[in-house]
Structure formats: C-alpha cells, structure tokens
Amino acid sequence: MVLKDEMLARLRRTFDLNLYEVKIWVALLSRGISTAGELSNMAGVPRSRTYDVLESLERKGFVIMKLGKPIQYIAVSPKDVVERAKKNVKENAEKKVKTLDKVKSTDMIKTLEGLYKKGINFIEPTELSGALKGRNNIYSHIESLIKGAKRNVVLVTSEDGLVRKADALKSAMESAKKKGVSIKIAAPLTDANSDIVKKLKSVAEIKHAKDLNARFAVIDGKQAVLMVLNDKDLHPNYDIGVWLNSQPIASALNHMFDHVWESLPKK
C-alpha cells in the first residue's frame, strides 16, 4: 500500500521521524518481515542509509531485528508503537525537566539573570506590555505573575476557562496562598465545573458570575492580562492575550472587580 505524501508528513510529525524512517517503517508494515535490501527497494531509500534507519527505528521500538541470516526485520504493531512512543516521550521529557532544574542553579543562569536585570532597568515600566499568542503562552505568563504576587490575585474567566485554569494555575495559586496572597475568582459556576470549584476552594474564594462575559487576570493591582477573544469554540493556538504592566489600568480593573464582586452570589 502506497501512502500519500500528506499521510507521510502526518506520520513524521506525530512520531517525530525523518522521511527515510517513515518510508522504511511503512514499507515494513506492508510486508510484516523483510530484509534491509528489500525495504530499500520498496521505500526508495538509498541502501547505504537503510541500515542506519533500521537501527534508529529499532532503538525507538518501531521494529525488531530477527536473529539469523540473512538479517531480517519484523514490524511492531502500530498500537504497540504508540504506547512505546508515549513512554519514550515521557522519559525524554522527565530527563529534560531534570536537566533544566539543574541548570537553574548554574553560573550560566546567574549570568543571564544579571543581563536581564541590567537590561530591564533601561525600560520604562509603561513599555513592559505585549501580546501573548496561544493559550499555553497566556497561561504560562499568568502563572509567572501569580508566582510573583505579593498581595492579591483576581481572575475572571468563563465556565470552561475555570476548568482550564484549575489545571494550569492551581500549583502557582497554592504557592501564592501559602505566602498570604488573597485570590478571588469569578466565573459561571455550573454542574460541569462543580468538581473543579470544590478543588479550588482551598486556595481561592470563588463566586458565581453568570453574566460577566470577560476573561482577565489582575496581579497586585499593578499588572493585568486581558484575553481579548471569546473562548467559545476557539482553538487554543488562536487565543490572544494582552499583558499590561500598567498600575492605572490594573488598579481600575481591580476597583471595578471589587464593585462587582460584592454583588456576586456564592454557590
């Protein structure tokens, strides 16, 4: 079976393979068991590269080398490949996290922090504003702001947004709570997010905001992140936030929030 280029490209992205690896793997899947020479001819991959490609696929758990001569290779079930790929991704991610944790205490990071602090002194506070593209980037920035909070954090979000923020920000909110930071969240409280509300009540005061159709965060009345699009049926990659390091704007948002907060019912 010959796969279209579009399918080959999807396989490359999904399993993090190069073009030769995908071609050899697909060729082997169609045969079940085969020699390197046969796979080279079927896949149109240079014979000089085929052994290296098969060795790479073997390390990744996509193929098994059969004992005996001539050397043959056996295809692994795609379902098993998915599980092995998941395991490899998890192990590599854990190794990367450990490496990055070690890097935090190195002289390299201290040097970079020194450069950052020196450079930031030349920037006017009002210039520290910018666009945040993609929900992951938005939440990562809000998480950093919450970690640096000293007095209070305000979050206004949607029904689904409350669920997402619980997953992305709960750890940062727990740390802030331990430092004595007050956290208030306003969102539509429904049966769909009732379990999340119970989990968040240990770190934040939460009220039901049925008609407050907005998404924003305010930190210490000094910084704010505004999500400018309606998140209903919005792809996470297309979400857009605006970060404002502006005390007048953040204070005004805080003041308006406090006024609305008093009228909101608990649920």
Q: What is the mean pLDDT of each run of 10 residues along the chain (267 residues)?
A: 75 90 92 92 92 92 86 89 87 88 84 73 59 93 94 95 94 95 95 92 92 91 93 90 90 92 80
Q: What is the CATH number of domain 5-78?
A: 1.10.10.10
55-96 pLDDT, tens per residue? 999 988 899 988 778 889 998 888 888 888 888 888 888 988
Distances (CA, A) of 80 to 3, 83, 86, 99, 157: 21, 5, 10, 29, 40
Parse the chain into domains and list their residue ranges. 5-78, 125-261
pLDDT at 165: 94
- Give per-residue pLDDT as tens, 16-46: 899 999 999 999 999 889 999 999 999 999 9
* Paired tokens of 212: 């407050």
The candidate with the shortest Cα–Cα distance to 164, out of 142, 133, 131, is 142
| Predicted local confidence at residue 159, as pLDDT | 93
pLDDT at 41: 93
Of the candidates 147, 206, 138, 195, the residue with the CA atom closest to the CA atom of residue 174: 147
- Looking at this protein, which amino acid is placed at residue 176? A
Report, at the CATH architecture level, how domain 125-261 is classified. Answer: 2-Layer Sandwich (3.30)
Q: What is the pTM of this model?
A: 0.61
Read off φ and ψ for residue 154, nearest 5 degrees. Answer: -120, 130
**Which of 156, 129, 159 has the alpha carbon at shortest distance from 222?**
129
Strands across the sheet containing 205-208:
129-133, 240-244, 223-227, 216-219, 152-156, 182-187, 205-208
Hey, do 5-78 and 125-261 end up sharing a CATH topology, with the first three levels equal?
A: no
